[in-house]
Structure 1
Amino acid sequence: MAVVTITKDNFEAEVLGCKIPVVLDFWAEWCEPCKMQSTVIEELAAELDGKVKFGKVNVDEEASLALNYQIMSIPTLVVMHYGLFQGKAIGVQGKDAIREMLQGVL
Structure 2
Amino acid sequence: MLPLIDLRMHDGSRHFGSLPDNGDFESLRDVLSQLAGVQVTKFVTDQVTEAWIHFTYQQHLFAANTQLGEWWFFVDDPTCPDEILRGLLSHAGKFLRRQ
Same fold, TM-score > 0.5, yes or no: no
TM-score, normalization by structure 2: 0.27
Question: Greater helix percent: which structure?
Answer: 1
TM-score, normalization by structure 1: 0.26
Q: Which has the higher contact order (CA 8 A, sep 6+)?
A: 1
Question: Greater strand percent: which structure?
Answer: 2
